[in-house]
Amino acid sequence: MAKTPKFPNPSFYKYKDHIDWAAQAKNLKDIGAICVDMAKENDWKATGKGFVKGWKDFAERTADEYKEVMAMSPDEKKDLLINGEKHLGRLYKAGSMSTVRREWRGVKDTAYDFYEWARMWGMLLSTFSKDLIPAVSGMLYYRWYVSYFCCHGFMDKNIMGLRGSNLRMSHELIYGVFRYVAENLVFLTKCDEKIGNCTELNKKLVLIDEMTMGQIMCGFPDLLGIPHQLLPVFLVSEIDQLTCIPYIDAVESYGLPSDTCPVPSSETGALVIDALPHCGSCFISSSMPCDGSTMASSYYSRRFPNVPVFHLCFPVRYLDEETVQCGAEDIKACIKFIEKQTGATWNWDAYFTCMKRFNEETDYELQKWEINKTPYPQLLGPCYELYRKWNYEMDGGTDPRIMNICKKVDKMLLKAYKNKEEPWPGKMRHRAIVWSCPAHYYANFSNWAANCWGIDVLVEMESLNFTKHLETSDKEEAMRDLARLYERMVMRRHTNGGYQNVVDELWKQCEDWNVEIVIMYQNVACKNMATLQGVLDDQARQRDQRMIWIEHDLMDPRTVSRRTMRDKVSNYMRTVMNEEPADPSLVDFEDDVCM
């Protein structure tokens, strides 16, 4: 049996670093001075009291849980032992984003959960050890870097309440995402002029805007393509809600209006405070998904004037086939730009191989949709949502290892559907769809909705993108298909695709998925979607379609807190639906402290 080919190219790790040790020593000295100042300014008496209080709270909580278990009947104890706990609100620590402990899921699922916990740590340690010094040094230069060490806590919140096959599928999917994260963290620090300064790998590194799809790099197997702002801005904001606040404050201090979308604001702010690694042979930007991305791209050129930039700008009228050739010509020009900057040559065989894999991944995705459209949906929750967006936009068939994940998940999916399993046992009441873009600082919102109110999100708008098989033989049509794909990327497919792709498409998807509730996210800074609120409300009433509007500020939790988002759902379910929560302990808890 042939072994699955390794990706990324193992040679990428072998290029020699050129670390400026004097600069590292100076930076370490500066960090040490900051730590000393912080220690001097800290109220150690209050810290000590907080530490003691933490242990007292731990002791009290442990005693309360022990008493509760002892008061259970033998059948209730057996159920707890086998199926796990049902009141998940106790896991949250008052006034904190962290949990007090990990969830008890029953003997079998808890054992499996700890196995995956250890596997994730093993992957992270083995990946960082491939170039340890630059990888560890990243913590001394970038505040966002440390947030990735919270990935296990992030994983735990995303799978809260899950049991059986969905728990296992979610672990498989999130593992693939974080493997990608860990490897690219190593490469970014290895290439960063301030840290690893690997000149040879830098020549092969093509940086991509975080909102630009990565499929174009499939034709360059000897090059390394990394979305530059993805790790410092976009993905880390899903893990740590505080990450983007310094970025937003920095760029607003220069005069940017506070009602600007937090995505380009955060990207631009990251440039202002020098939070992006200094690396790469060139940068591919785009006008996606909106004009704000163009603003961030122009700031990029000013911050890194020595890095050549190519702007991919596709027509928004993607239903008009006459615009496709325009997009194809833009892609051809981008390929020539990459060839000129790196000396590499476009490889059609490599591209077609990746697109065949991407087409197969699309088939697996469509099968998930078909099962979730039935009365027995199986693969639900934030891990699936995050994986779909990453796989569609950033991996795009590049990594052959992803096929192993697809096959394993598909096997579990079909078995779970055959057995009519419940992802959240006893808590599946309402079928729902998410429309518009969700809040980054509350990535596990759909998990909370399911556990607290039995609202099961079957699919997100950002998952419903281009599913046509891409051409894998005719070179000219392959360019046109790639243009079609890029025109319909995440976000652009709906929020910038015109009325029929936002409004008409929503009602079509509600019918296809047989949903009862629409979770309508309202990014308070998104001007495009704000223009349609009245239209969506009117048509929802005409169709007798239940719709819950949930405001958020995408990457800034200070405008609309997590707690406020939850309250919108809880108030709706009680006053409109006349229901009581499936888990009352999750209705109100404190996790909205931002600073």
Angle between helices 348-372 and 402-418 (to 10 degrees): 20
Could you tell me how many helices (H) and strands (E) the chain has, helices first?
Answer: 26, 8
Predicted confidence (pLDDT) per residue in 14-27, tens digit:
899 999 999 999 99
pLDDT (mean) for 463-481? 93
Q: What percent of the chain has pLDDT over 90?
A: 70
pLDDT at position 487:
84
H or E segment to which residue 126 belongs: helix 107-128
Q: Label residue 240 left, alpha or beta by phi (over 0 means left) and psi (-120 to 50 means alpha).
A: beta
Give residue 97's pLDDT: 74
d(CA 96, CA 542): 42
- pLDDT number for residue 289: 65
Q: Which helix H or strand E contains 225, and what residues bound it?
A: strand 224-227
**557: preceding bond cis by omega (within 30 degrees):** no
**pLDDT tens-digit readout, 257-293:** 888 888 888 999 999 999 999 999 999 988 666 666 6
Residue 594 binned pLDDT confidence (cut-offs 50, 70, 90): low
Q: Residue 226 is inside which H or E element, if any?
A: strand 224-227
d(CA 153, CA 114) in angstroms, rounded, equals: 13
How far is it, in rounded angstroms, from Cα 564 to Cα 568? 7
Give percent above pLDDT 70 in the chain: 97
Question: Which tens digits make up the pLDDT trace of 97-146?
Answer: 778 889 999 999 999 999 999 999 999 999 999 999 999 999 999 999 99
Question: Residue 184: its pLDDT value, please?
Answer: 94
Q: How confident is the model at residue 96 (pLDDT cuts 50, 70, 90)?
A: confident
pLDDT in tens, 535-562: 889 999 999 999 999 999 999 999 999 9
For residues 237 and 325, the answer to whether their CB atoms sit within 8 Å is no
| Residue 172 pLDDT exceeds 70 | yes
Q: What is the mean pLDDT of residues 405-418?
A: 96
8 pLDDT tier (thresholds 50, 70, 90): low
DSSP 251-305: HHTTT--TTS-HHHHHHHHHHHTT-S----SEEEEE--SSHHHHHHHHHHHHH-T
- The mean-pLDDT minimum among 318-332, 372-386, 448-462, 465-479 falls in 318-332
Give the mean model confidence (pLDDT) for residues 521-529: 82
| Residue of 530 and 229 predicted with greater confidence | 229
Residue pair 326/487 in contact by the 8 Å Cβ criterion: no
Ordered DSSP codes for 79-110: HHHHH--S-GGGGBPTTSSSBSSPPP--HHHH
Average pLDDT over residues 59-63: 91
User: How far apart (Å, rounded) are the C-alpha atoms in residues 480 and 277?
Assistant: 33
Q: What does the pLDDT read at residue 490?
A: 76
With 50 as the cut, is the pLDDT of residue 1 above it? no
Distance of CA 287 to the CA centre of its chain: 21
Give the torsion sign (CA, 103, 104, 106, 110): positive
Rounded to the nearest integer, the mean pLDDT of the chain is 90
Residues 6+ apart with CB under 8 A from 378: 165, 166, 169, 368, 371, 372, 413, 416, 417, 421, 423
